[in-house]
Amino acid sequence: MRILHVSDTHLGAMPNGLLSRARDVYEAFKESIDIAIEERVQLYIHSGDFFDSPNPPPEAYIVAYRNLKKLKDHGIKVIVIAGQHDIPKRYASTPLFLLSDVGTIDILAVDKPIHTSINIDGSELEIVGVPYSSRSSISRVKPLKKPSILVAHLLLKEIGIPSEEADISINDFPDGFSYIALGDYHIKSVYRHSSGTPIVYPGATEIFKVNECCDKYVAIADIDNRNVDINFIKIQSVRPWIIIECRDLNTFSERLQQSIKELSLKSNKKPPIVIVNAYNVKVELIAKILDGLKLKRVIEYYRIRAEGEDKEIEMHIPSLENQYDMVSIDIVLKKIIQDDKLVELLSNFIKNPDRNTMALLVSYLRENPEVAKKLEKLYTRSIESFALNVDTDLKKDSNRSSEVRSTAGKRGILSYIG
């Protein structure tokens, strides 16, 4: 049987406060779905931090539902466990419950381990899921048969991260699993249990911090009773990064232009993010060069760090995240759905995602299948059109000051919902 293993998609994240980076996050997730379909996998495993927040923005729900539904339409089963970003700190419901209740997730582990079996083309596959909140119980979960997969969200001590959360060791895993699918660490890594079982982090699907640069992957595992064959497929939509030193302005400018030229020859045409480590050069002079490139839309974002000094400059951007949050959820939903009752239920769930608001929403959709059907058949272009208007308004606002660079793209934030 063939599985796709992905983790840390962080839907709803807006890295660097840029709308274009929010689109990057959605596009990378969509590509993981496309890869699953193209590779004819039978199982899509997500090992945590599906969302970036337990209260994600409306478009994150739409992106998740539409793309997971593609998997269901192709007969691909979906397993998800909750990471720390998926779980509310106060008593409330994780947004993953909604995706499960509408039928786009087959097996979900949120607040306790699960131990179950799933039928894949007539063969039984044992699944043990350990969410982030239950990671301390990892040594007590044991497989009953093969093939079997352990899915967990945790940091291994062997990674070497100085974190109190890295409290699980490879030796803590029990024997007997065919494949151990992990999430939480954002860099692709493969370890081996003493029994030979592969322990795999596919890494995040996008780059969120400079130390996570640069290539991103999903893992494809072919599993039978005896063997596991693992391959990694690179996510092509990930925005490129350029990490460069500056010791003198002339050499820096030449090297940067060369790097940009080399990127332009590749299939991914997104303007890169530029990270500069400056040595004995005024960061203000470097910023002037980069500001010019940003105005020409040659680069998307930059950050400059003066080595040996406690000084850092990043590109000045408008507070787009705050402006975007000011868009009324009710207005967005009415523009898209045009069903007052459904708008009310969705709005209540988004604002207060607990079991009660979720149950009312699901109950309404079940009692009104024509509404659910209409919701599924909404044209992507109508959503994109509204999001484009939002982007255009933000762009107009940001252009009022010569100090502020517009980061809204030509397409709306929902243009990657698939």
For 222-240, the pLDDT digits (tens) are 998 788 999 999 999 999 9
Could you tell me if 312 and 370 lie in one domain? no
Residue 365's domain spans which residues? 326-380
Q: Residue 125: which of 206, 200, 42, 201 has the closest Cα? A: 42
Could you tell me if 104 and 150 lie in one domain? yes
Could you tell me if 59 and 208 lie in one domain? yes
Q: How far is it, in rounded angstroms, from Cα 13 to Cα 51?
A: 8
> pLDDT at position 369, please?
81
**Mean pLDDT of all residues in 323-341:** 63
Q: How far is it, in rounded angstroms, from Cα 315 to Cα 18?
A: 11
Does a structural domain hold residue 199?
yes
Does a structural domain hold residue 415?
no
| Percent share of the chain, pLDDT over 70 | 83
Could you tell me if 208 and 166 lie in one domain? yes
> pLDDT at position 373, please?
74
Q: What burial letters (b/e) apply to 211-250, b meaning 16+ CB within 10 Å?
A: ebbeebbbbbbebeeeebeeebbebebbbbbbeeebeeee
Pairing of strands 217-223, 2-6: antiparallel
> pLDDT at position 56, please?
92
Q: Where among 201, 234, 267 does a domain terminate?
A: 234
Q: What pTM does this model have?
A: 0.79
Could you tell me if 376 and 262 lie in one domain? no
Half-sphere exposure of 389 (CA within 13 A, CB side): 10
What is the CA 134 to chain-centroid distance, rounded?
22
Q: Residue 173: which of 133, 148, 141 has the closest Cα? A: 141
- Which class for 286: exposed (0-12), middle (13-18), buried (19 or more C-beta within 10 A)? buried
Instruction: Name 14's Cβ contacts closer than 8 Å, sequence gap at least 6.
Output: 21, 22, 25, 320, 321, 324
Does a structural domain hold residue 392?
no
pLDDT digits (tens, 9 = 90+) for 152-164: 999 999 998 877 7
CA distances from 388 to 117, 380, 385 (A): 44, 12, 5
Does a structural domain hold residue 409?
no
- Residue 344 pLDDT > 70, yes or no? yes
- Residue 38 pLDDT > 90, yes or no? yes
Could you tell me if 260 and 277 lie in one domain? yes
Q: How far is it, in rounded angstroms, from Cα 89 to Cα 92?
A: 8
Could you tell me if 226 and 255 lie in one domain? no
Is the distance from CB of 37 to CB of 260 less than 8 angstroms?
Answer: no
Q: How far is it, in rounded angstroms, from Cα 53 to Cα 31?
A: 21
Confidence of residue 330 (pLDDT cuts 50, 70, 90): low
Does a structural domain hold residue 385?
no
Could you tell me if 146 and 275 lie in one domain? no
Could you tell me if 221 and 253 lie in one domain? no
Confidence of residue 33 (pLDDT cuts 50, 70, 90): very high
Does a structural domain hold residue 413?
no
Structure tokens belonging to residue 228: 């596991």
CB atoms within 10 A of CB 325: 11
> pLDDT at position 393, please?
45
Q: Residue 74: which of 45, 98, 104, 99 has the closest Cα? A: 104
Residue that has been written with the tokens 């079996």 in this structure: 117
Does a structural domain hold residue 389?
no
Helix-, strand-, coil-residue percentages of the chain, each rounded to 5: 40, 20, 40
What residues does 153 pair with on adjacent strands? 183
Query: What is the DSSP annotation of 97-127?
Result: HHHHHTTS-SEEESSS-EEEEEEETTEEEEE
CA angle 160, 162, 166 (to 5 degrees): 75
What is the CA 201 to chain-centroid distance, rounded?
14
Structure tokens belonging to residue 259: 């790097």
The enclosing domain of 43 has a CATH number of 3.60.21.10
Could you tell me if 189 and 108 lie in one domain? yes
Could you tell me if 270 and 332 lie in one domain? no
Could you tell me if 263 and 289 lie in one domain? yes
> pLDDT at position 144, please?
86
Confidence of residue 244 (pLDDT cuts 50, 70, 90): very high
Q: Residue 55: which of 402, 314, 316, 351 has the closest Cα? A: 351
For the chain, how many structural domains are there in total? 3
Q: Where among 207, 234, 261 does a domain terminate?
A: 234
Q: Where among 210, 234, 258 does a domain terminate?
A: 234
Does a structural domain hold residue 388?
no
- Residue 181 pLDDT > 50, yes or no? yes
**Mean pLDDT of all residues in 133-145:** 89
